[in-house]
Copies of this chain bind each other. A is one copy, B any other.
Amino acid sequence: MEKVKISNNVYIPMPMTILGAKVNGKDNFMAVGWICRINANPPMLAMGIGTHHHTLKGVLENKEFSVNFPGENILKQTDFVGVVSGDKTDKSNVFNTFYGTLNNAPLIKECGLNLACSVVESIKLPSNTLIIGEIKEAFCKSELVKSNTVLFDDMKAFFLTMPDNNYWSFGHKLGKAWSIGKELQTK
């Protein structure tokens, strides 16, 4: 099987989220896929946000933000907040919101899972800004959490691939992690 060298600008599959922040006192939202957990305890995540984005202004100013996980039922709304800028379009009414203890982290009612985060550090990269955040509070639709596990499949969370620009559903279960490889251990 032949390997070919390709452009180093390779995207990797992204769990779709919606970043929320207060910008000039108004709720703003943008679709974010460049996000992952980075620290176990306390729970932290990182995301790389294009430095020109309107939502980033609010994140940096208030040092608070939300990360919301949409389901397929609001796929179009998620895409919408990814294609229009809050600089030109008021996106404060796209979703219904609620708040935890962080006043500058608007949480989206329609999303199955909501994380309210504080900024630990921001690092200016060449074209993006890396935001390191601590997850201070998490909220979940009651029917989507079981034994402290979020049921992302029942939530119908979805993924993005680029540059083909496709959204993908959660697939089917393939096996148990940290388990199915153990049979190779004795070989």
Chain A interfacial positions (CB closer than 8 Å to B): 1-15, 17, 33-48, 50, 69, 72, 75-84, 89, 94, 98, 100, 109, 113-115, 121, 123, 125-128, 130, 132, 135-143, 145, 148-150, 152-153, 157-185
Q: How far is the CA of A94 from the CA of B5 in the complex (A)?
A: 23
Q: Which residues of B contact A3 (CB under 8 A)?
A: 98, 109, 114, 139-142
Which residue of chain B has its CB nearest to the CB of A128? B39
* A80, B185: Cβ atoms closer than 8 Å: yes
User: Of B13, B45, B164, B181, which is within 8 A of A80 by CB?
Assistant: B181
* A150, B45: Cβ atoms closer than 8 Å: no
Give A45 Cβ to nearest chain B Cβ, in Å. 7
* A130, B46: Cβ atoms closer than 8 Å: yes
User: Of B36, B167, B173, which is within 8 A of A48 by CB?
Assistant: B36
Known contacts A2-B142, A83-B185: A163-B175 contact under CB 8 Å: no
Q: Which residues of B contact A132 (CB under 8 A)?
A: 123, 125, 130
User: Of B4, B38, B82, which is within 8 A of A125 by CB?
Assistant: B38
Q: List 6 A-B contacts (CB under 8 A).
A: A2-B141, A39-B48, A121-B123, A125-B132, A149-B163, A166-B173
Q: Which residues of B contact A125 (CB under 8 A)?
A: 38-39, 44, 132
Q: How far is the CA of A128 from the CA of B183 in the complex (A)?
A: 28
* B142, A4: Cβ atoms closer than 8 Å: yes
Which residue of chain B has its CB nearest to the CB of A35? B36
